[in-house]
Amino acid sequence: MSAGHGGGVVYLAGTEWHRVAGTDRQLATALASVLGPVLYVDPAQPVTHLLRRRRRRGPGQPWGLVDVAPGVTRLRTLGPPLLTRRVMVGLATWWQHRLTVRASRALDLGPCLVVVASPLAGFPRALPGVRFFYLTDDWEGGAGLMGLDPGLVRRRLAGNAAAADLVGGVTPVLVDRLAQLGPGARALLLANGCVLPPATPAARPTDLPDGRLVGLVGQLNERTDVRLLHRIAAAGLPLVLIGPLTTRDPATLRDFHDLFARPGVTWLGHRPPERLGAYLQHLTVGVTPYRRDRFNEASFPLKTLEYLAHGLPVVASDLPATRWLGTDLVDIATSDDEFVALVAGHCAGAQVDADAAGRRRSFAERHSWEARAQLLVDAVPEVGTAALGA
């Protein structure tokens, strides 16, 4: 196991390590390079999850402590049944905290930083270090989509904001909400970042269609404006979708399957994070089509920066986070017609504008996950001092 001698980070995540290489996983990995060993704590899984897995007899993720990345050790735990219900969440939290403290001691971590980035987790009382409560999404607004009790999420938000030394969010909207919940805590805008791809070009994947391609990378769910994707396909633009279908809504599920059946539309499903770069390199334009609602207004789509990191032109829906980037390297569409026209323009343009691609990559470098991790450390000087003395 990864081990240290004091210092380091305990990161109580809102997502399982293996599910999505999103905010939690990327920031935790970047923090390991800045602050030392990281204990990444998955959301607890109900014991019924293990029973279902045994009935399926398929390979599953290991439980307990496992090294998952340089400097990062994952803790995966079981909790009681119905652990997201009000009557059980207290017991589930107590048990997870007990296992987290035990794991941090086993790894010889006396963390200088404890991050809670989950709608249901809390700060373990027995752990030292600066407490950072980090909103990666509008958990209260999206509680229904996640199958959570909005009232329970609201109370947990208020409790964690009050207990934190530093609160932060991926968008200004979330930071403002946190500042209202915990007015005594320092507030930090810590936006999503991107992974910088290697300079070596990759061969075109064999399952990627030939020719110019409009690409969408990421989870396909209620957040995605599937109606707009239908418009792109109807315009005769070749569309490739790379990511798992995770929607819970039956109507949205039907809309996606109708989209997959359209001529010129290719759905490749989930691809491992380490392989995504090979696909992105061979797209013509990346798209970020998001629905306009409260949940999305507070979101920061990772895919926009990922496209730029690979030198791609980007067409995105008009979200506050996209405006916050403050760059003309992203085409922001304010209507469906404009969105489709911008995408069509990129598909009809010259093959590759090397200068423009270079500017996009340079912009993305300023928004890397390493830069985000350093921003967090700089916001709390005592964290950096403790890390140096560990």
Q: How is the chain split into domains, by residue range?
A: 9-192+368-389, 214-365
Cα-atom radius of gyration of the chain, to the nearest Å? 21
The residues, ordered by sequence, that sit 6+ positions from 258 with a Cβ below 8 Å of its Cβ are 230
pTM recorded for the entire structure:
0.90
Q: How far is CA 48 from CA 58, 80, 118, 281, in A?
A: 15, 8, 21, 41
Amino acid identity of residue 96, one-letter, is: Q
Indicate if 214-365 has the same CATH topology as 9-192+368-389. Answer: yes
- Alpha-carbon distance of 191 to 165, in angstroms, equals 19
- Alpha-carbon distance of 308 to 218, in angstroms, equals 15
- Could you tell me the fold of the domain covering 214-365? Rossmann fold (3.40.50)
Cβ atoms of 198 and 178 closer than 8 Å:
no
Query: Where is pLDDT greater, at 2 or 229?
Result: 229
Asked if the model's pLDDT at residue 55 lies above 60, the reply is no
For the domain with range 9-192+368-389, which CATH number is right: 3.40.640.10, 3.40.50.2000, 3.40.50.300, 3.30.930.10?
A: 3.40.50.2000
Q: What is the mean pLDDT of residues 282-289?
A: 98
111-161 residue pLDDT tens: 899 999 999 999 999 999 999 999 999 998 887 777 788 888 899 999 999
Asked if the model's pLDDT at residue 323 lies above 60, the reply is yes
**pLDDT level of residue 6 (50, 70, 90 thresholds):** low
